[in-house]
Amino acid sequence: MMDCKPKVLVTSRIPEEGMCMLDEHCDVKVFDYEGVFPRDLLLKEVKGVNAIVCLLADKIDGEVMDAAGPQLKIIANYAVGFDNIDVEAATKRGIMVTNTPGVLTDTTADLAWALILATARRVVEGDKFLRQGKFKGWKPMLLLGTDVHHATLGIIGFGSIGRAVARRAMGFDMKVIYYSAHRASEEVEKKLNAEYRSLDDLLREADFVSIHVPLTKETRHMIGERELKMMKKEAYLINTARGPIVDEKALAKALKEGWIRGAGLDVFEREPEVDPELLELENVVLLPHLGSASYATRAKMATMAAENVIKALKGEVPPNLVNPDVVKIK
């Protein structure tokens, strides 16, 4: 290693497993802001760094890259998604972009199921009801919910997380239908007991709709007023993917007017802001983006991000490179 360690900016402290790796090889500057890293501060602090470890909330575009300077080698996203990074701009500048895929699949699928159960069985409402001293004894009609077992689960996006959600559905004897841009093989469908549907047919048929697609131009507002009106009045919408996939205003209206029975959200359209109308509704469970929030998963994400940075700064190709064309440019 060079006597002068390469400089790394970490926009928010990550678990110690990753920080220790970075500290050993690099000169690390860490910020631990409450909320989103201020744009003006980001543009100032990136100057002269060789690597950036960032979060989904950090918008890393050409302006940030140019503010850093030509010595910037890698932008390591502490997430599986990377829609917060202008990958094309990075590639043009010869900057590697990496993510932390695979490790959070099961943990995110678990949370999707937590939301399915919490919404269907009114868990949050029940907790609030009891804490407010309203529970005076068992009643036949108290907080009646919806059965999950033997219901129909519609999965939008059948990648690794979508399939993990489908596997868990087998334990509830659910019928699983899915929509995906690329249909799964007959072998996968048979293994997961899953049937392919068009998006419209899935929305009409499913009792629970769980979203697991990436955020792209095509998937932005994929679920809007038209789609919500297609769903059953008794149905629930679950989103642990990306907030802008769902038109939040339309969802608030759907919940308020009874187009669907309920929703469970871990992500939001203008995160960390949440539509004020949603905050007022009892038939939606809202979580602060906890999809990958387990000790083991976040620690593994940290070591993956650190390894990506260290490899790149050594002149090697990092294991989770999302813009392989940058290697050809170099």
Closest CA to 298 of 115, 160, 104: 104
Decide if 308 is inside a domain.
Answer: yes
79-96: average pLDDT: 96
Close Cβ partners of 86 (under 8 Å, ≥ 6 residues apart)? 60, 61, 62, 65
Decide if 11 is inside a domain.
Answer: yes
What domain range is 319 assigned to? 7-102+295-329
Residues 95 and 109 in one domain: no
β-pair partners for 178: 155, 196
- Could you identify the residue written with the tokens 């890293």? 37
114-122: average pLDDT: 98
| CA-derived radius of gyration, the chain | 22
Separation CA 262–CA 135 (nearest Å): 23
Decide if 98 is inside a domain.
Answer: yes
206 pLDDT higher than 80: yes
Residues 220 and 302 in one domain: no
- Give the pLDDT band (50/70/90) at residue 1: very low
Residue pLDDT, tens place only, 30-76:
987 777 889 999 999 999 999 999 999 999 999 999 999 999 999 99
**Per residue in 250-284, is it b (16+ CB within 10 Å) or e — as a string?**
bbbebbeeebbbbbbbbbbbebeebbeebeeeeeb
Task: Supply the pLDDT for residue 35.
Answer: 77
Separation CA 200–CA 229 (nearest Å): 11
Close Cβ partners of 302 (under 8 Å, ≥ 6 residues apart)? 14, 15, 16, 17, 18, 19, 78
Residues 232 and 200 in one domain: yes
CA angle 103, 326, 54 (to 5 degrees): 45
Decide if 151 is inside a domain.
Answer: yes
Decide if 264 is inside a domain.
Answer: yes
* Distances in whole angstroms, Cα of residue 311 to Cα of each of 20, 275, 285, 327: 15, 41, 41, 13
Decide if 1 is inside a domain.
Answer: no
Question: Domain containing 243 — which CATH number?
Answer: 3.40.50.720
22-26: average pLDDT: 96
- Could you identify the residue written with the tokens 């390591």? 76
Average per-residue pLDDT in the chain?
Answer: 96
Closest CA to 65 of 79, 37, 46, 40: 46
Residues 281 and 303 in one domain: no
Amino acid letter, 220: R
Residue pLDDT, tens place only, 292-320:
999 999 999 999 999 999 999 999 999 99
SS3 143: coil
Close Cβ partners of 311 (under 8 Å, ≥ 6 residues apart)? 317, 318, 319
Q: By 3-state DSSP, what share of the chain in percent is helix, strand and coil, each rounded to 5?
A: 40, 15, 45
255-267: average pLDDT: 98
DSSP state of 169: H
Decide if 48 is inside a domain.
Answer: yes
Residues 93 and 195 in one domain: no
101 pLDDT higher than 50: yes
Decide if 2 is inside a domain.
Answer: no
- Percentage of the residues of the chain whose pLDDT score is greater than 90: 94
- Phi and psi, residue 239, nearest 5°: -130, 110
User: CA torsion angle for 156, 158, 163, 165 (degrees, to 10)?
Assistant: -10
Q: In the chain, how many domains are there? A: 2
DSSP state of 172: G
Residues 120 and 258 in one domain: yes
Structure tokens of 125?
């409402």
Residues 128 and 78 in one domain: no
Residues 236 and 299 in one domain: no
Residues 184 and 257 in one domain: yes
CA-based end-to-end distance of the chain: 21
Catalytic residue numbers?
242, 271, 289
Pairing of strands 208-211, 236-239: parallel
Residues 262 and 115 in one domain: yes
Q: What is the pTM of this model?
A: 0.90
2 pLDDT higher than 60: no
Residues 114 and 241 in one domain: yes
Amino acid letter, 330: K
Residues 266 and 313 in one domain: no
